[in-house]
Amino acid sequence: MAIETTAGLRGRFQAFWRGRSERERSLLGVAAAVMVFGVLYGLVYAPLERAHARLEQRLPVLRAEHRMMTAQVAEIERLLGQGRGVAITEGTLLRTVEASALAHDLRDQIQSLVPLGDDSVRVLTREAPLETWIHWLFELRGRGVNVQSCRIVVAMQPGQASLEAVLGGSGR
């Protein structure tokens, strides 16, 4: 069976078309138009309409999430701005970190607190609830101490972790 060329197919179609009466040609043309419309509707319009309806349904949720995230960004910027302007020098940085640890009853959880000499302090801790460490670091931020680097080591017990952090003054 040989593959027909485009010209051969076109010739066969023209012969078929000419062999039809005027009424048959009209009915075939209308049937072809209805089929093209149905295919376009089924493959293009209906999926687009369903996607549009889903997006329209999700739009209020997305807008609410956007408002919430915008408010959170404003709150984060406000909180970050609180620590600005507080001058922490090399001598006071170690005392500030120690005082904060004592105030939060965490001094026993700190294995080592080593000044690095360039206005920063390395802190190694024992395991404690991760939430406790996060609150402590957040409170240090309010005192003008920045977290320059932090490695959280997750413990085997759920919710427990230890920290390896480098803290510095806000002047950096």
Asked whether the predicted pLDDT for residue 35 surpasses 90, the reply is yes
| Residue of higher predicted confidence among 169 and 84 | 169
| Statement: residue 56 has pLDDT above 90 | yes
Return the HEC string of 43-94: HHHHHHHHHHHHHHHHHHHHHHHHHHHHHHHHHHHHHHHHCCCCCCCHHHHH
Give this prediction's pTM. Answer: 0.47
pLDDT, tens only, 116-126 = 876 888 999 99
Judge whether residue 96 has pLDDT over 80: yes
